[in-house]
A = this chain, B = another copy of it.
Amino acid sequence: MPTPDRTSIEEITAAAREILEAEGYSGLTMQAVAERVGVRAPSLDKRVRNRDDLVRLVAEATFRDLGAQLNALPATTDGHKDILELANALRAFGHAQPNAFRIVFGASPTTVPPNLELIAHSVAALLRISADLAGPEQALNAARTFTAWAAGFIIMELGDVFNLGGDVEDAFHYGVTHLALAVHSDRA
């Protein structure tokens, strides 16, 4: 006799994301998710292979949201302005969802890379701006330089490892403007 479903992948993922930010990475337990969606822990196994799989679901959903936000930014003809806006948006995203941000950028113990088309779509805006600044030949290198810097900065900021004083806000602005100039210099 079939039993009606009491939860879904979507509900489980949403619950996991909330718990991750509220309770931290170690607080994201199968039992906590199960309780929130109203089932017992073993019942999650029907939709989620194991805890790593749950983390992967969170990472993919987060990455999708991040890509949507970055791609929705207005595109101007000024690459320097666009990259600053993109950096600010990425930073705001990291501050809003610090624990998910760490997972997406490989900083978490568990990392399962999302599928290629999701990646390609999520980095579209960054690649466009990078090509605009650095030229098509160096677009990927420029995009990776931006991403590495921004992800590293935000992860360190969230981890509270900027401990030598100075203005962190100023350091972020310094970084993005100098990076833009650097990757642009090849085209001069």
Residues on A lying within 8 angstroms of B by beta carbon are 24-26, 99, 102, 104-109, 111, 113, 116, 119-120, 123, 138, 140-142, 144-145, 147-153, 155-156, 158-166, 168, 170-171, 174-175, 178-179, 181-183, 185
Contact = CB atoms under 8 A, between A and B. Distances in A.
A171 B153 contact: no
A82 B175 CA distance: 20
Contacts of A150: 148, 152
B182 A105 contact: no
B24 A158 contact: no
B106 A159 contact: yes
A164 B102 contact: no
B106 A163 contact: no
A170 to B, nearest CB: 7
20 contacts: A104-B161, A105-B159, A106-B155, A107-B159, A108-B159, A111-B160, A119-B164, A140-B171, A141-B171, A144-B166, A145-B149, A145-B174, A145-B179, A148-B152, A149-B152, A149-B175, A151-B155, A178-B182, A178-B183, A181-B182
Contacts of A179: 145, 178-179, 182
A140 B166 contact: yes
A111 to B, nearest CB: 4
A130 B150 CA distance: 19
A144 B150 CA distance: 11
